[in-house]
Amino acid sequence: MVRISVRLSAVALAAVAACVLPAGASAAAHLGERSIHYGNRGHDVRVLQDYLTQYGLDTPVTGFYGKETRANVKHFEGDEGLTVNGIFSKRDSKVLRSAVETGGSARYVDTPAPVGKARLNPDGTATAPSDAPPEVQEVIEAGNRIAKKPYVYGGGHGTWNDRGYDCSGSVSYVLHAAGLLHTSLTSGGFESFGSAGRGQWMTIYANGGHVYMKIAGLRFDTSGQSADGSRWHTSPRPSSGYVIRHINGF
């Protein structure tokens, strides 16, 4: 069992329950596995709220299907020619997923402009594109510092400079290094961090069991580490079941 520092915070204790799922697994039911009604709560409600925002209907990610969420579901149903009743059905889920994956509703959404791409180096580090903002370059530099550090259950939550990091500890570390995060978060905590939708330079993918980032085209992820043990990846991974967030300006 991994020894955890006595300075481990309450956030770190919560993180011990997260970041242990293999790639593709989810800690909760995926969106579309049930019809969602007014008053429902759950991870799938959080994902729905995030998807509605990506579609173009700004919806706070609370995990509770209240009046505001229901009103936005009705807007979505009307826009897509679905039955307008505020009950988010499995059919509604398929239509919403398809709309978001193809760029959201043209009526509402502005697609981020393309940006430069980071390069994955033979030694498992990443090189930031020359046109990246200073904060993005700092995130990539920080990622390089811990890219090959071991995965440690709860690592990075009791202290920023740890001997190893879990998924949320890794993401927290790189964002903190760039001055974009002051306190480490669990994977579930990242579900409501920042703003909904994909960023131009950096995107956070979070659920109750795992969190990873896409930074200037590269995936920064503790799951499925490459043969040389690096957290940097060029390969994509399915985002189904993840809340998608970004930091304004990036």
Q: Hey, where are the domains in the chain? A: 10-21+114-246
The pLDDT of residue 81:
84
At 220 the pLDDT is: 96
Q: 10-21+114-246 — its CATH code?
A: 3.90.1720.10
Cα–Cα distances (Å) from 150 to 103, 186, 233, in that order, read 36, 18, 16
3-state DSSP assignment of residue 245: strand
Q: How high is the pLDDT of residue 120?
A: 93
Q: Which token pair is 28? A: 């909760």
Rounded to whole angstroms, how far apart are CA atoms 87 and 6? 47
- Note the pLDDT of residue 210: 93
pLDDT at 218: 94
Cα(7)–Cα(12) distance, rounded to whole angstroms? 9
The three-state secondary structure class of 211 is: strand
Quote the distance between the C-alpha of residue 204 and its chain's center: 3
pLDDT at 21: 43
- List the chain pLDDT tens, one digit each, 250 residues: 444 343 444 444 444 444 544 443 344 567 888 999 999 998 899 999 988 988 888 888 899 999 999 999 998 888 888 899 999 999 999 889 888 776 666 565 555 555 789 999 999 999 999 999 999 999 999 999 999 999 998 999 999 999 999 999 999 999 999 999 999 999 999 988 998 888 889 999 998 889 999 999 999 999 875 567 899 999 888 777 788 889 988 9
Give me the half-sphere count of Cα atoms (radius 13 Å) on the Cβ side of residue 248: 2
Task: Look at residue 53 in the predicted model and tell me its pLDDT.
Answer: 84
Collect all residues with Cβ–Cβ distance below 8 Å to 123 and sequence separation of at least 6. Answer: 228
Give the pLDDT score at 110: 54
**Cα(139)–Cα(208) distance, integer angstroms:** 23
35 vs 18: CA distance, rounded Å: 26
Predicted pLDDT at 106: 54
For 134, residues 6+ apart whose C-beta sits below 8 A from its C-beta are none
Predicted confidence at residue 136, as pLDDT, reads 96
What integer pLDDT is reported at residue 19 of this predicted model? 57
According to the model, what pLDDT value does residue 31 have? 84
